[in-house]
Amino acid sequence: MKILPIDKIREADKYTIENEPIASIDLMERAAMQCADWIMNKFNRSYEFHFFCGKGNNGGDGLAIARIMKNNGFNVKIYVINHTDNKSTDFEINLNRLATQEIPVNNIENPEQIKFPSNNAIIIDSILGSGLNKPTDGIIKDIILFLNSLENYKISIDIPSGLFADITNSAEDVIFEANTTLTFQLPKLSFLFSQNYKYVGDFQVLPIGLSEEFIESTHCNNYFVDLQMIKNIYKVRDKFSHKGNYGHTLVISGSYGKMGAAVLSAKACLKSGAGLVSVHCPASGVEIIQNSV
């Protein structure tokens, strides 16, 4: 699976909209449906779902997910954060859809306006999206700090608010701390760094129908190994074959007191399909290798 930089993901959105063709709001609805289905399959109707939405397209995603879940009998509460007077077009469309269906929205300007009746509430973060290029501040920072202080289960939509998709955050940045991140079509590069696990949690990649033609034709430097990639290189073994038919790997590894690397490397080579593995190591490590592999 490719890991595209955020500018290429934007181009994939644009290409899909122009060539499928599909309206931007309908692509958002498709993404929202995928997220809503995932959440509704994981949690039952005994939970409350508290959505925190910014005024950009990530907030629009949250509004759409909340509406879908409300229409399926789930208990949702929606908070829109008044951090700016600017609203994206698709956010406004989804906000109007909530008004048409008489689904209430709470406009908040500080954390004191947030009320949680029980620990049974699931927090949904759709405040800031993947286009973020500066640290959180002001009301958004205050609300993220408050939400992070709660022990409720937390889900981020597309990317945790405050996390950069392609570049590294500083240690002082305030970022939403999700248990699960539901991301669209492709993982973000920042998801794969150990320091970001406390923010991303376990991420789920949800297909939203972005153009496979565009993705396949776009060059990138980073890949995430998934089942599809493994299927493409997997070779079925013939019934009457032997180890000599499947390659010979030489592992040069290990030193006195540090034979673990040699053991792990040899096992990895065998498990990845090498027919024969030879380990070149110090004499002091031969017994360890013979006992371990």
- In angstroms, the Cα distances linking 219 to 8, 131, 215, 223 are 9, 20, 8, 11
| pTM, full prediction | 0.87
Q: For residue range 100-148, what is the model confidence (pLDDT) as tens digits?
A: 999 999 999 999 999 886 889 999 999 999 999 899 999 999 999 999 9
Percentages helix, strand, coil for the chain (3-state, rounded to 5) are 40, 15, 40
Average per-residue pLDDT for the chain:
95
CA 251, CA 253: separation in Å to the nearest integer? 6
Q: Where does 41-187 show beta strands of DSSP type E?
A: 48-53, 75-81, 106-108, 121-126, 154-157, 180-184
The whole-number pLDDT of residue 226 equals 84
Q: Measuring CA to CA, which residue among 32, 28, 121 is closest to residue 72?
A: 32
CA 162, CA 75: separation in Å to the nearest integer? 27
Mean pLDDT of 18-31: 97
Sign of CA dihedral 115, 116, 121, 124: positive
Q: Which of 65-74, 78-87, 154-163, 224-233 has the lowest mean pLDDT?
A: 224-233
Phi-psi region of 185 (alpha: psi -120 to 50; beta: other; left: phi over 0): left
| 13 φ/ψ angles, rounded to the nearest 5 degrees | -60, -50
Close Cβ partners of 170 (under 8 Å, ≥ 6 residues apart) = 135
CA 252, CA 266: separation in Å to the nearest integer? 10
Q: For residue range 161-209, what is the model confidence (pLDDT) as tens digits?
A: 999 999 899 999 999 999 999 999 999 999 999 999 999 999 999 999 9
Give the number of residues written for the chain. 293
Q: For residue range 172-181, what is the model confidence (pLDDT) as tens digits?
A: 999 999 999 9
The whole-number pLDDT of residue 261 equals 95
Helix (H) or strand (E) holding 112: none
Q: Measuring CA to CA, which residue among 213, 225, 69, 200 is closest to residue 125?
A: 200
Tokens 């073994």 sit on residue: 237
The whole-number pLDDT of residue 38 equals 98
